[in-house]
Amino acid sequence: MIDFDKIKNDNVREFESLFDLYYEQLVAFACYYFSDQDAAENIVQDVFVNIWKNRKKINLKSSIKVYLYSATKKNALRYLRDKKNREKFVQRLTPDLDVQHLPHDSAEYHELVSAIEKAIQSLPEKGRLIFCMNRFDHLSYSEIARVLNISVNTVEAHMVRNLRHLRNFLNFKFS
């Protein structure tokens, strides 16, 4: 029986016992959501990292097992949502390429994803921040404007420049 209070009090051995007891079960559980073993392992590892980092703040309302499975489910669903958003984003940025028919494990797909990541990294810092807040964190232009204390028109102008830059970068890369 795992004593979460010991983990809260920095007992590494108890945490390792928790990991050893549930890791494989949670990976198998995550694989119910998608068949990518590596992604499932990463998701479960993230669950355990977050537990260790936040151990002092966690107040279990039920068993540790329920907490672990709930956290794994939440992370798996977030992963699927983010993956779907990335795929939509790739398709919008590269309308001339038939991305939907590229296998996700193909070299072409990975090259395209890598090029998009490089294109995003090549944006100016503020433009990249605004772009990521909008496209990956799903904040509206007005929400971004409030957070950054700038006008909505400024956010719009940044997004227009960002998208133009990304299209040009990717058209150059794949033409």
Domains of the chain, residue spans: 4-83, 94-174
Q: What is the pLDDT of residue 121?
A: 83
Residues of the chain with pLDDT under 50: 99
CA atoms within 13 A on the CB side of 54: 11
CATH of domain 94-174: 1.10.10.10
Q: Can you tell me the distance from the alpha carbon of 151 to that of 139, in angstroms, rounded to the nearest whole number?
A: 14
Please give the class, per CATH, of domain 4-83.
mainly alpha
What's the burial of 125, exposed, middle or buried (CB within 10 Å: 0-12/13-18/19+)?
Answer: exposed
Q: What is the pLDDT of residue 113?
A: 76
Q: What is the pLDDT of residue 157?
A: 95
Do the two domains 4-83 and 94-174 of this chain adopt the same fold? Answer: no
Torsions phi, psi of 135, nearest 5?
-85, -30
Q: What is the pLDDT of residue 91?
A: 66
CA distances from 149 to 3, 37, 145 (A): 46, 42, 6
- Are the C-beta atoms of 7 and 55 separated by less than 8 Å? yes
Rounded to a whole number of angstroms, the CA Rg of the chain reads 20
Quick one: tokens of 111?
A: 């090259």
Q: Can you tell me the distance from the alpha carbon of 145 to that of 128, in angstroms, rounded to the nearest whole number?
A: 14
pTM of the model: 0.53
Q: What is the pLDDT of residue 105?
A: 57
Q: What is the pLDDT of residue 6?
A: 93
What is the per-residue pLDDT across 67-105, written as a single tens digit (0 to 9) for each? 998 899 888 888 877 777 666 666 666 555 554 555 555
Residue 79: strand, helix, or coil: helix
Residue 38: strand, helix, or coil: helix
Q: Can you tell me the distance from the alpha carbon of 42 to that of 39, in angstroms, rounded to the nearest whole number?
A: 5
